[in-house]
Chains A and B, each alone.
Chain A
Amino acid sequence: MVKIESSAALFLDESGAMSIAQLVEQSGLSEAELQVLVDCGALEPRDEAAGSWRFSSRCIVTARTARRLRDDFALDDVHAVAIVLRFMQRIEALERQLRDLEARGRH
């Protein structure tokens, strides 16, 4: 039996810092599209004021979702993608709050 080497899975959270070029490569979105997502507040660079943006690794999840929405729903306008993303983020935040309230107490 061949020994299969195991690989480490990495958290996609607030840690890590990648450039916009890396985010382009890993999300499949163009730099211009990422720019729109940042302008609309759907994607937040770590330090927006800085000359060159750095993104936490959580942004990969958001950018990949944006790419899927763009492709799967044939949304040509990335502004539409940004609006959908903002709604999804609000729903996720509400779901998280609900889960947290359930966790705190079932009374």
Chain B
Amino acid sequence: MKYKDYYAALGVERTAKPADIKAAYRKLARKYHPDVSKETGAEEKFKEVAEAYETLKDPEKRAAYDELGRHAPGDEFRPPPGWRQSPGEPSFSFDDVDLADLFAGISGRTRGGRRAPNAPMPGQDFEAAVRLTFDQAYKGTEIELDMAVAEPDENGFLRRVPRKIRVRVPKGVTDGQKLRVPGKGGKGANGGRDGDLYLDIEVQSHPLYRAEGLDLYMDLPLAPWEAVLGASVDVPTPAGRVTLKVPPGTHAGQKLRLAGRGLSRADGSSGHLYAVAQIAVPTVIDDRQRALFAQLKEASAFDPRAHMVD
């Protein structure tokens, strides 16, 4: 079992008073709580802080933790002989026991058990962050999650057991969305329901498509003559290339809609793909082209700044 320094995690002395521990926790929670913090790595940091506080805020658990002695963080150690939660057999392995789980049973037992021993206990809900490519989000995908799940062994000791969970992610998920996988959290006890698995979806940005809900947007560069005369242009869509009719007189910023070519969901809802026109100009032109542009300039009375005249 790896040692974790809970006092260091909260930045307090080992002699800190309960009020100081609480104050330190609150300060760190405000900084790192994943619901309020945008700092990178905040979630991991908050987990460490919350785990430390969970043990140190409870006098019973704190005393039990202190009795483990001092070790360097990350050091392999085992509780001293006769320590409260030890099963007594010297051969007992602590290899896959997590320090956090060691204290889980302590105060529930000593506080006189507000819960009847055989009362149904719902399983814990799990959360997992899932990063998908744009393509996976568009088509739907199947992912495999490797979780370390705390499950009681035959001695009632919680051990971290590796568990693979395979999940079908439906098509049409968007960045920041949450999904629920019913019953795939921790196992319920005494007839309590199993917990659920919640997925936090992150969709990687795509070089061409930008999502707004189920709608997609992409930039469509046009040559000046294509914008003026209109054109049929070959454009990519997530479902394959299509021909898009650009109407004559298309201006920059105009949105050309490709109906039903956005994201779609199994329930039949779907978005559109919008091509946002941009006017691209050639930067290198030869003499003939320059002469033609000059001719066009002579022939045209078009004033793009007419609205700027006082």
Contacts and interface: CB of A to CB of B under 8 A. Distances in A.
Interface of A: 4-12, 15, 25-26, 57, 60-61, 64-65, 68-69, 72-74, 88, 99-100, 102-107
A10 B179 contact: yes
Nearest to A100: B212
A61 B178 contact: yes
Interface string B146-180: 00000000000000000011111110010101111
Contacts of A65: 35
Given A8-B170, A9-B180, A105-B276, A73 B26 contact: yes
22 contacts: A4-B164, A4-B166, A6-B166, A6-B167, A6-B168, A7-B165, A7-B167, A7-B182, A8-B170, A8-B181, A11-B170, A11-B265, A12-B180, A26-B196, A69-B35, A72-B50, A100-B213, A104-B217, A104-B255, A104-B276, A105-B276, A107-B252
A103 B267 CA distance: 24
Determine which residue in A57, A60, A103, A104 has the highest number of CB atoms from chain B within 10 A of its CB, and name it. Answer: A103
Interface in B257-295: 265, 267, 274, 276, 278
A57 to B, nearest CB: 7
A102 B217 CA distance: 10
Interface of B: 22, 26, 29-30, 33, 35-36, 46, 50, 122, 125, 142, 144, 164-170, 173, 175, 177-184, 193, 196, 198-199, 210-213, 215, 217, 219, 252-253, 255, 265, 267, 274, 276, 278
Contact of B199 (A5, A9, A68): A9
Contacts, number: 91
Contacts of B217: 103-105
Contacts of B46: 72
Given A69-B35, A88-B35, 6 more contacts: A6-B167, A7-B166, A7-B181, A9-B181, A105-B219, A107-B253
Determine which residue in A9, A12, A103 has the highest number of CB atoms from chain B within 10 A of its CB, and name it. Answer: A9
B58 to A, nearest CB: 13
Q: 5 shortest A-B CB distances, which residue pairs? A: A6-B166, A103-B210, A9-B179, A103-B212, A100-B212
A11 B182 CA distance: 11
Given A102-B210, A104-B276, A105-B253, A7 B180 contact: no
Contacts of A6: 142, 166-168
B219 A106 contact: yes
B33 A72 contact: yes
B180 A57 contact: yes
Contacts of B179: 9-12
A47 B202 CA distance: 31
A7 B267 CA distance: 18
Given A4-B164, A6-B167, A12-B179, A103 B211 contact: yes
A99 B29 contact: no
B140 to A, nearest CB: 10
A103 B198 CA distance: 27
Contacts of B165: 4, 7
Given A8-B181, A72-B50, A103-B212, A25 B122 contact: yes
A5 B35 contact: no
A4 B35 contact: no
